[in-house]
Structure 1
Amino acid sequence: MSGERVFAECRPLLFTIAYEILGSAADAEDVVQDSYLRWHGVPGEAVGHPRAYLVRTVTRQALNQLRAARRRREEYVGPWLPEPVRTEPDVSEDLVLAESVSMAMLLVLETLSPDERAVFVLREVFAYSHREIAGLVGRPEPAVRQIAHRARERVRARRRRFEPDPGTAREVVGRFLRAAGTGDIAGLMSLLAPGVVHVSDGGGQVAAARRPVRGRERVARFIAGVARRNLPGTRSEFTTHNALPAVLTHRGDRLDHVLLFEIADGLIHGMYAVRNPHKLGTATVPRRLVRTRNEADETWKP
């Protein structure tokens, strides 16, 4: 198998790892591209296990990117949300993968240190052993075990679980859009859980709430107000982003925002509105996310 084909087969896994570590599709693509250039410059006979080499390269590059990004995010205007990625509906069939790329989980991962985040993702999502992770991140195995335990406990204390509910998602979102479009506060409230949270990310580039909006009535009134000002002249498209039901709202040929929904038991528990135009450049591009390993190592011949 050629080196080009090996990289092509590994690319979905490499992107998924980089995205889960970084929470940014653009940065993940940069990391994958940089890894390709490094791979292209290494003689084939020097790489005994291509996938392991590529995963190690991507992991370390993503860690470097994350450390730099953390400093930038400290100065971010308003709430920071991960860059949304368009996923296929069948991603929800893999519950581990679906939860790991959900907005709620990616925000929990933001509370971890870079090393904790990388170790947690590699261990809990991709099922690498502690010994393998030690080689990937360049840390001793005993240290990796401690980091993994600490990260797992921190995530367990903060995680919010929402079982995918594709059967009712489109119906609930459709009713939500109709109620928002007509300013029906009561109709909106009937679709919202009591503890619903709405988070907007404008990054200081466009108008967005500077703090999360919480509670059924406050969120309903906020949504109705936003819809009254912004929906005229727009068109909406139902999609799946980050393994969640979502709506793309276009104004002319421009994507205005992506709104993702956490839905359980027929009610909306969370909404994430990504409006920062810097995070929308590839939001319409379908992404193939995987967490399984392929057999490229065993079939590759330099």
Structure 2
Amino acid sequence: MRAEQVDVFEANRSRLFGLAYRMLGEAAEAEDVVQDAYLRWRQHADTVATPASWLTKVTTNLCLGRLTSARARREHYVGPWLPEPILTSTDPGPLETVEQHDTLSLGVLMLLERLTPLERAAFVLREAFDCGHREIAEILDLDEAHVRQLYRRARQHVGEPRKRFPASAEQGRRILERFLAAAVSGDVAGLARLLAEDAVAWSDGGGKVTAARHPVIGRDKVARLFVGLGRSPRTGRAALSLAEVNGTPAVLVHEAGALSVVIVPEIVDGRVVAVHSVLNPDKLAFASAQSR
């Protein structure tokens, strides 16, 4: 393959990864999809008239093929399943543009799990990459009316929560700092004031490490949970740092130099409405590599 054809693919790589990650919720799987797309590009580059469109179609369809098996695996997952976290401040490009942050958040990625594969593709292509309905129809080999119906159904499932007002990066960081301070100092009341009444804490250990097997629901229960964790001897020995994860301020917990937990709060209307804690070491491999 000619050097300029390799350059064309590399110019699209970040965008293709962003597409695959939003479709699958798994960074390692997304990387595999991008590699598969590259192998197909090597075979067909000489005959492709519009590389960006062709690569988008190939990547989307590779993801659709993997979603069915991925969902079957998640049905047998131990405890809550959360998407793999990624550090967005280290990877300039489509993953961290302001317009696309919303579709990158762990909360929205969890909502996308409610959709059928085709609904998810229509939603991601429209919301994250601003594709028109006709373009999406060409990518999915469907008629435009069908695509509009898919997108409308997808919006019905994920649109309502997105009408609220997410925190700015600065506000989110301030709230997160107060959250951590309250948890470590044992201030249950102070922590509760930062939480929405119906706040939910999700923990993903995948059966590999100790984690809650069910979501913890309610302001007081979530506050007590994190105060207990914040004052544990294990937390006292850990190194905590703030980072941007999936487009929002988050906490990285390192133990003995290794990334052991990523905590990503979802802040809406000035309150923490959800806290996503990823502890499964398999899901931390990508973020750990990014943070080195």
**TM-score using structure 1 length:** 0.88
1:60 maps onto 2:61 in alignment: yes
Contact 1:86 1:285 (8 Å CA) reproduced: no
Contact 1:119 1:147 (8 Å CA) reproduced: yes
Opposite residue 39 of structure 2, the aligned amino acid is: L
Q: Which moved more, 1:227-236 or 1:241-250?
A: 227-236
Contact 1:165 1:263 (8 Å CA) reproduced: no
Q: In 2, Cα distance between the equivalents of 1:208 and 1:146?
A: 39
Partner residue of 1:239 out of 240, 243, 249: 243
Q: Which moved more, 1:16-25 or 1:127-136?
A: 127-136
Matches within 5 A, 1:139-158: 139-157=142-160
Partner residue of 1:34 out of 20, 36, 59: 36
Q: In 1, Cα distance between the equivalents of 2:245 and 2:89?
A: 8
Contact 2:15 2:95 (8 Å CA) reproduced: no
Contact 2:89 2:96 (8 Å CA) reproduced: no
1:163 — aligned with what? 166
SS at match of 2:239: strand
More helix per residue: 1 or 2? 2
Matches within 5 A, 1:1-302: 2-42=4-44, 44-88=45-89, 94-157=97-160, 159=162, 161-229=164-232, 230-285=234-289
Q: RMSD of the alignment, in Å?
A: 2.2
Q: In 2, Cα distance between the equivalents of 1:53 and 1:167?
A: 38
SS at match of 2:159: helix
Opposite residue 164 of structure 1, the aligned amino acid is: A
Q: In 2, Cα distance between the equivalents of 1:150 and 1:263?
A: 26
CA separation of 1:179/1:157 partners in 2, compared to 1, >3 Å: closer, same or farther? Answer: closer
SS at match of 1:283: helix
In structure 2, runs of 5+ residues without a counterpart are: none
1:85 shift after superposition? 1.0
Opposite residue 241 of structure 1, the aligned amino acid is: V
1:144 shift after superposition? 1.9
Q: In 2, Cα distance between the equivalents of 1:240 and 1:172?
A: 14
SS at match of 2:200: strand
Q: Which moved more, 1:190-199 or 1:271-280?
A: 190-199
Q: Which moved more, 1:170-179 or 1:7-16?
A: 170-179
Report the count of equivalent residues: 286
1:153 shift after superposition? 2.2
1:93 shift after superposition? 8.3
Contact 2:195 2:271 (8 Å CA) reproduced: yes
Q: Which has the higher contact order (CA 8 A, sep 6+)?
A: 1
Contact 1:85 1:285 (8 Å CA) reproduced: no
Q: In 2, Cα distance between the equivalents of 1:109 and 1:151?
A: 8
**TM-score using structure 2 length:** 0.90
1:106 shift after superposition? 0.8
1:227 shift after superposition? 2.6
In structure 1, runs of 5+ residues without a counterpart are: 288-302
